[in-house]
Chains A and B, each alone.
Chain A
Amino acid sequence: MLLKVGDNITTDHIMPAGAKLLPLRSNIPAISQHVFAPVDPSFAERAQAHDGGFIVGGDNYGQGSSREHAALAPAYLGVKAVLACSFARIHQANLVNFGILPLQISKEDYQHCQPGDQLRIKEVNKKMVAGQPLVVDNISQDYQFIAAAQLSQRQVEIIQAGGALNWARQKLAGAG
């Protein structure tokens, strides 16, 4: 678990904009170094050192701007899933589009999780396809909790394809 944030985290927190960073929107390796900079400037370095990981958030995670860089740049850093109490619509879709699992967790489990906890999610594909909730092992605290993917069939296919671009290209190739 790379980071724990509170309620109503905006895409401005996740992927800040402004005159200094917007010129990097076409340079994913460069802009990804600024992911979560307003919250925790060491995030990008830590994510890369751990070869990715998880983010835990509160309610309405990802509100605000539609910028897909708030999903694309974390994906570049190796973020595999965001576990939050609830998500804003556009950001939830963007996470799926870039192959990051948006997982809904309870308030209690949110409070229980601590930054740095080692989390493991097993049988993701099997449970996702079956529409079953995922089980998260909190190895550090030795307990398990439930995380709901709440994906449509289409979104399951997108996650399996590694993102919506791969999914759409397969689909268009199949059609044409």
Chain B
Amino acid sequence: MRGTIIEAILSEHLVSGTLAPGEEVGLRIDQTLTQDATGTMAYLQFETLGLDRVRTELSVSYVDHNTLQTGFENADDHRYLQTVAARYGIYFSRPGNGICHQVHLERFAVPGKTLLGSDSHTPTAGGLGMVAIGAGGLDVALAMAGQPFYVRVPKVLGIRLTGQLPDWVSAQDVILHLLEKLSVSGGVGKALEYFGNGVDTLSGPQRATITNMGTELGATTSIFPSDETTRRFLHAQQRQEVWRPLSADEDAEYAQIIEVNLSELEPLIAQPHSPDNVVPVGKIAGTKVNQVCIGSCTNSSLAELMTVAALLRGKQVHPDVSVTVSPGSRQVLTMLARNGSLADLLAAGVRLLETACGPCIGMGQAPATDAVSLRSFNRNFSGRSGTKSAQVYLASPVVCAAAALTGEITDPRTYPPRSRWPLSWKGQCC
């Protein structure tokens, strides 16, 4: 791992142990995040430790999971989260602000810092060059108490990206490609570090899509370099001052190097009931689809949703398909509203959902009996959608948009009948 970004950041945060793969080390944690489904327990645990205040640089309590209030329980939990945050110096992100990982990218992620979150998709922030790790609520509570986070040092896999994504191929296809190659256990005990000139072609949110779903490999974390693209994203968020450059040494040592030529990728799809059950979209084209859900912490950035809106503009979603869109954050939804994309989505017949996890955590939108549901999400475990007999597939927002229009799984390169990506600024925005 010598010369890698992972090594550099872990070294800066090493409290105990030696940085050798497999060894347990203690790491200083700069930031923590929780979400409401795991947060209540984490804060109850924190409260038993008898401290007056959190001892991190920043701790944020998000509300994004339990946003349906069909009884008093969720609302009571949210009231507790708000009061405990005020008591101990924790930022409280009220329901409606958005999905923890998207909001954290926008507002708080800092290259070179460590983030521990009581949500497995915390590595999303690795897209901006953070060492971001998911953990149980109790480990996050201890980190809030200023205690080190103990973890076995992962082997660092180097993922060399070359080329550029072709039209209709998305960041989601990069990680689905790796899932097909490595399986849902292929990343256990490992960290994925991306490098190579293909990195330059990916935007901040695209990188975050890839690090987000590194979780499905079982990886401890995933990280991209912090470069000019990162700086531009932070500048757009009016947080340029937190930027610092991070890149691996020329001769960095990786446990293994995996080559991915972005130019050779094609649209991919994960079939039921595992994210690594991946085939090219074209192979199962024509499969009837009953539900399409676009959003989640994996794919709900402004660029992804504007692309979907551009594809649906002036058209109607297929009458046999229920199509939902849940924007990742209040910021994303506000910008969609201001630039007219939201009107395009609504006019096309999309059901707009709250900026939250929603159907990804089974919080509403359970599919019909035996239904096929195509989602731009990260997990398609059996029953997770709320319907045991549902067949859930995972693909990029573009593949989802194509299916929304045709009512069947569709290679977006074949429909709609135009060859160009709808947005001229693909990859250029932030």
Q: Of A19, A38, A66, which is within 8 A of B135 by CB?
A: A66
A113 located at the interface, meaning its Cβ lies under 8 Å from any Cβ of chain B in the complex: no
For A156-173 the 0/1 string (1 means CB < 8 A from B) is 000000001100110110
B220 within 8 A of A: yes
Q: Specify the chain A residue showing the minimal Cβ separation from B146.
A: A172
A19-B364, A22-B361, A86-B188 as given contacts; A71 in contact with B73, CB under 8 Å: no
Please name 8 pairs of A and B residues whose Cβ atoms are closer than 8 Å in the assembled complex, sorted by A: A12-B379, A17-B65, A17-B362, A25-B41, A26-B40, A86-B185, A88-B188, A168-B147
Q: Does A141 contact B (CB under 8 A)?
A: no
Residues A60 and B138 in contact, CB atoms below 8 Å apart: no
Residue in chain B with minimal CB distance to A98: B138
| B-chain residues with CB within 8 Å of residue A38 when the two chains form the complex | 382-383, 388
Of the residues B40, B70, B218, B382, contact of A89 by C-beta under 8 Å: B218
Q: Is there a chain A Cβ closer than 8 Å to B339's Cβ?
A: no
Given A86-B188, A94-B136, A18–B65 Cβ distance below 8 Å?
A: no
Tell me if A16 and B136 are in contact (CB < 8 A): no
Q: Are B136 and A22 in contact (CB under 8 A)?
A: no
Q: Does A164 lie within 8 Å of B138, measured CB to CB? A: yes
Decide: A25 near B50, CB < 8 A? Known: A18-B362, A19-B70: no
CB of A42 closer than 8 Å to a CB of B: no
Distance in angstroms between the alpha carbons of A98 and B138 in the assembled complex? 9
A174 at the interface (CB under 8 A from B): no
Contact indicator B383/A26 (Cβ below 8 Å): no
Beyond A27-B73, A66-B118, A165-B138, 5 additional contacts (C-beta under 8 Å) are A19-B363, A64-B379, A68-B38, A72-B41, A168-B142
Interface size on B, as a range, is 35 or more
Residue contact B136 to A89, C-beta cutoff 8 Å: no
Give A93 to B77 CA distance when docked, in angstroms: 25
Interface mask (B137-152 → A, CB under 8 Å = 1, otherwise 0): 1110010010100111
Residues of A within 8 A of B139 (CB): 93, 97, 164
Closest to B186 in A: A60
Judge whether B172 is part of the interface by a CB distance below 8 angstroms.
no
Closest residue of chain B to A10 (Cβ to Cβ) is B381
A24 within 8 A of B: yes
**Within 8 Å CB of A66, what residues of B?**
38, 117-120, 122, 134-137
B→A interface (CB under 8 Å): 24, 37-38, 40-41, 44-45, 48-51, 65-66, 68, 70-71, 73-74, 76-77, 80, 117-120, 122, 134-139, 142, 145, 147, 150-152, 184-185, 188-189, 218, 220, 274, 361-364, 366, 379, 381-384, 386, 388
Which residue of the partner chain B has the closest CB to A152?
A: B24
Query: A8 within 8 Å of B by Cβ?
Result: yes
Q: Which residue of A lies closest to B24 (CB)?
A: A152
A47 shortest CB reach to chain B, Å: 20
Set of chain B residues within 8 Å of A168, measured between Cβ atoms: 49, 142, 145, 147
The total number of A-B Cβ pairs within 8 Å is 146
> A169 to chain B: which residues have CB within 8 Å?
48-50
User: Please, how many angstroms separate the alpha-carbon atoms of A66 and B123 in the complex?
Assistant: 12
Report the bound CA distance from A13 to B362 in whole Å.
13
Query: Contact: B184 with A26, CB < 8 Å?
Result: no
Q: CB of A139 within 8 A of chain B?
A: no
Task: Tell me if A65 counts as interface (CB < 8 A to partner B).
Answer: yes
A 39-54 to B, binary, CB cutoff 8 A, 1 in contact else 0: 0000000000000000
Secondary structure dominating the interface of B: loop
Partner of A17, one of B51, B71, B361, B364: B361
State how many angstroms separate the Cβ of A137 from the closest Cβ of chain B: 30
Q: A18-B361, A25-B77 are in contact. Are A90 and B134 (CB under 8 A)?
A: yes
Binding site for B on A (CB under 8 A): 8, 10, 12-13, 16-20, 22-27, 38, 59-60, 63-69, 71-72, 86, 88-90, 93-94, 97-98, 152, 154, 164-165, 168-169, 171-172
Q: A27 — which chain B residues lie within 8 A by C-beta?
A: 73
Q: Which of A69, A88, A164, A171 contacts B41 (CB 8 A)?
A: A69
> 5 tightest A-B contacts by CB?
A18-B362, A23-B73, A68-B136, A60-B185, A94-B136
Chain A proximity of B77: nearest CB distance (Å): 6
A8 to B381, CA, bound (A): 10
- Cβ contacts under 8 Å, A12 to chain B: 379, 381, 383-384
Residue of A nearest to B38 (CB): A67
**CB–CB A60/B381 < 8 A:** no
Give B276's nearest chain A residue, CB to CB: A8
In whole angstroms, how far apart are the Cα atoms of A88 and B136 in the complex? 12
Closest A residue to B66 by CB, please name it.
A22
Q: A89-B188, A94-B136 are in contact. Are A23 and B384 (CB under 8 A)?
A: no
User: Measured between alpha carbons, how far is A38 from B387 in the docked complex, in Å?
Assistant: 11
- Chain A residue contacts of B386, Cβ below 8 A: 18-20
CB proximity of B273 to chain A, nearest CB, Å = 9
Q: Give the CA-CA distance A27 to B382 in the complex, in Å.
A: 25
Least CB distance, A22 to chain B, in whole angstroms: 5
Q: Is the CB of B363 within 8 A of A8?
A: no
Residues of the B chain whose Cβ atoms lie less than 8 Å from the Cβ of A172:
49-51, 145, 147
Report A-chain residues with C-beta under 8 Å of the C-beta of B119: 65-66
Partner of A64, one of B65, B138, B381: B381
Residues of A close to B50: CB separation below 8 A: 169, 172
Asked if B41 and A22 make an inter-chain contact with CB atoms under 8 angstroms apart, the answer reads no
Q: Given the known A-B contacts A18-B362, A22-B66, A165-B48, are A93 and B136 also in contact in the complex, defined by CB atoms under 8 Å? A: yes
Query: In the complex, what distance in Å separates the CA atom of A169 from the CA atom of B141?
Result: 12
Across-interface contacts of A18 in B (CB, < 8 A): 361-363, 366, 384, 386
